[in-house]
Structure 1
Amino acid sequence: MGTRTEPVGDGAGLTTGAVARRLGVAPTTLRSWDQRYGIGPAAHVGGKHRRWREPDIAVLARMCALTSTGLPPAEAARIARTSATTERADRTPSPAGRPGAAPEGGRRRGGGTGLQLADVRQECRGLARAALRLDADSVDDLLASAIADHGLVTAWNEVIVPTLMAVGRKWESVGERYIEVEHLLSWHVSSALRRTHAAPSPVRAGPPVLLACVPGEGHTLPLEALAAALMERDLPVRMFGAALPFEALDGAVRRMGPAAVVLWAQSRTTASRPLAQHVAGMRWGVRGARRAPLVLTAGPGWAGPHVPGTVRPLGLEEALVVLGSIR
């Protein structure tokens, strides 16, 4: 498609896979855009391997932004190529040494559909773009790559959480317009976390860690991340998910005798100090050798005065350290 072949060193550009992760587009989509619309790299290595330079990636980013608004790919490609040509002309010095003037009226940047992401990993931007397009396959691929490349804890803290927060800010600022983006992203994050421990592995003997959202609390993703990280470490886990009623929590603790109980509360309206104190005061076993669980009050809902008899970890890593220390 008019692509020239020239020798390019390894440091002269990015591979198709790297660009796909950066922009939140499946590699097959990039190849299709190259074949169908001529949106491809300016150079190949040895006539075969693609290497994308920053001007090539800028055209791709523009096309991604346009298609995310619903514009047909063919039209988006035409506009992206035209914009790139115009921008290069604008940067070309005039005979007097001044940059060329911008077209009358200027050009509008994206139509306000992007997410506000500050100083974050490139993977966040790619994941956000894929979520905005409701591109489920790309979201799955990007989540799997982030976890494989960085490990679950880093992927959660530095890729998944910033993207989820940006999506949440987006739909809160514009009403209900983007709530479907948050739902899709949350679902696929949950699926990705479960896939990290889909393959059975030997689990250490001993009492389990019980994970539950407090009554009335429906935000489970942080607890799912903790469950996945504990299972990666082959620790026995019992995950009870959202809004576990008090009676059910009490019964589960008494039946299982867990080594620890993690109570997640996203909101102060759901965090119950009496509930946490009740669980921290539970005992079982024969007289003289009774045991009690270590209780972790996790989540922003527990901000404020410390609940006596409990530990409040500040984040996923700290929770893992605390729970690892009781083994």
Structure 2
Amino acid sequence: MDDDPDDDRAAGRPEPAGRDEDAPRGGGLTTGEVARRLGVAPTTVRTWDRRYGLGPDAHTGGRHRRWTAADVARLERMCALTATGLPPAEAARLARGDTPADAPPATGRAVTASASAGARAPGRSRAGSGLRLGDVRQECKGIARAALRLDAVALEELLLAAIAEHGLVPAWTEVIMPTLQAVGRKWESSGERYVEVEHFLSWHVSGALRRSARPVAADRPGAATVLACVPGENHTLPLEALAAALTEHGLPVRMFGGALPVESLVAAVRRTGPAVVGLWAQSRTTASRPLAQHVAAMEWGVRGARRKAAVLTLGPGWAGQGVSGLPRPAGLAEAVALTRSLTQG
């Protein structure tokens, strides 16, 4: 892939001689200092220099090269543009200012919008250090690059932009989940490497989900939905996505997160009297039929008008462990549609 700035390092190709300049000198920053400031590898800075002509404008004598403030600003623009998912070659052209005379200058937000408008990038894409994403939307590449660089500002902006552009369910299904799965595959195939990237991405996804939808007050008794992971289950992100998607539709949600003890779940259901209870299980070892049956049998309210909650068994852990009479939505969109029907009906 000609547009992957880390291909040379990943493939083990030697770097050009005479460009190892981490000893500080006057007249500008070293490549190592620039890389640390940008949050990228020094190899990436050198590759952008060699491949796309983004090196220092002025050369000092000897083997050492120095980067001025203008040089660094150009590289910062390159980082911002690639973070949107723009191919590095095109990002470099814009960073250098190689635009037609009658074309308006591109901004980071403008590139984000144009990238969001594109349905899917052609072919199979990669981001950063060989992170294979498959046939995905353009935004996935930008999010993956920001995650690999551990760039908190760019990652947050890109996640929120994807949710605002597409809506929460499409953003989760077509942008966020493919990127999370690609990072997970990279972690599984690389030993202990990239664990920090997975944690970093997951934390920012969780924050973006919470910021994208405000809590909704219940306008009548029995209108709320209770969401919780079953005891022993700590994989909360898909449940957080459902909570955010329901509030996006104006539905009140009581979210209790990971590994809620049985006694606490029962107490929460009795105190809130929900229309729907969603129980998330990521693995079969945590999915509990007796728990789901117990919650489904719970009643509350005055005698003669007692009510029960509809219980949804959510997540792959319930596959093959289904409870008779309790629905198991296949995905986020189906879970949202079913919850809306049950609460509004």
SS, match of residue 156 in structure 1: helix
Q: CA RMSD in A?
A: 2.9
How far is the alpha carbon of 1:41 from its aligned partner? 4.8
Equivalent position to 2:178, from 162, 165, 189: 162
In 2, the alpha carbon distance for the partners of 1:187 and 1:150 equals 21
Distance change in 2, residues 1:226/1:127 (3 Å): same
TM-score under structure 1 normalisation?
A: 0.69
Deviations 1:73-115 (A, max 9, x none): xxxxxxxxxxxxxxxxxxxxxxxxxxxxxxxxxxxxx998221
Verify the 8 A CA contact 1:23 1:129 in the aligned structure 2. Answer: no
Residue 205 in 1 paired to residue 261 in 2? Answer: no
Deviation at 1:285, TM superposition (A): 1.7
Q: Structure 1: how far apart are the matches of 2:256 and 2:129? A: 36
Aligned match of 2:160 in 139, 144, 153? 144
- CA pair 149-240 structure 1, distance change in 2 beyond 3 A: same
Could you tell me how far apart the structure 1 residues matched to 2:314 and 2:299 are?
A: 21
C-alpha separation in 2, matches of 1:308 and 1:201: 31
1:183 to 190, 195, 199: 199
Query: SS in structure 2 opposite 1:117?
Result: strand
Deviations 1:15-60 (A, max 9, x none): x9886522499xxxx6xx78xxx95253234375249xxxxxxxxx
From 89, 99, 105, the counterpart of 1:49: 105
Structure 2: stretches of 5+ with no match in the other structure? 1-52, 55-78, 108-125
Once residues 218 and 247 of structure 2 are traced to their aligned partners in structure 1, the CA distance between those partners, rounded to angstroms, is 8
Q: Give the aligned partner of residue 85 of structure 2.
A: 22
Cα distance in 2 between the residues matched to 1:50 and 1:190: 30
Contact 1:262 1:295 in 2 (8 A): yes
Quick one: distance in 1 between partners of 2:167 and 2:282? Answer: 24
Residue pair 2:216, 2:253 contacting (<8 A) in 1 also: no
1:11-160 alignment runs, 5 A limit: 20-23=83-86, 39-46=95-102, 49-50=105-106, 113-160=129-176
Aligned 8 A contact 1:190 1:221 in 2: yes
Aligned residue among 306, 314, 318 for 2:334:
318
Contact conserved, 2:217 with 2:252, CA < 8 A, in 1? no
Alignment partner of 1:270 is 2:333:
no
Please tell me whether the aligned partners of residues 276 and 312 of structure 2 are also in contact (alpha carbons under 8 angstroms): yes
> 1:42 is matched by which residue type in structure 2?
D
Deviations 1:93-142 (A, max 9, x none): xxxxxxxxxxxxxxxxx998221111111111111111011111111111
Pair 267,201 (structure 1): closer, same or farther in 2 beyond 3 Å: closer
**Residue ranges of structure 1 left out of the alignment (5+ in a row):** 4-15, 52-109
User: Aligned partners of 1:24 and 1:246: how far apart in 2?
Assistant: 49
Correspondence 1:219 to 2:235: yes
**CA distance, structure 2, for counterparts of residue 111 and residue 193 of structure 1:** 23
SS of equivalent to 2:156 = helix
- Kindly state the Cα deviation for residue 324 of structure 1 after the two structures are TM-superposed: 0.7
Post-superposition offset of 1:254: 1.3
Cα gap change, 1:42/1:291 in structure 2, threshold over 3 Å: closer, same or farther? Answer: same
The answer as to whether partners of 1:257 and 1:293 remain within 8 angstroms in 2 is: yes
**Code of the aligned partner of 1:43:** T
Report the secondary structure of 2:306's partner residue. coil
CA distance in 1: counterparts of 2:226 and 2:252, whole angstroms: 9
Partner Cα distance (1:151, 1:112) in 2 = 27
Conserved in 2, the CA contact under 8 Å of 1:24 and 1:138?
no
Please identify, of 273-282 and 305-314, the stretch whose mean Cα deviation from structure 2 is larger.
305-314
Counterparts of 2:299 and 2:106, CA distance in 1? 63
Task: Say if 1:113 and 1:283 are closer, same or farther in 2 by CA, change over 3 A.
Answer: same
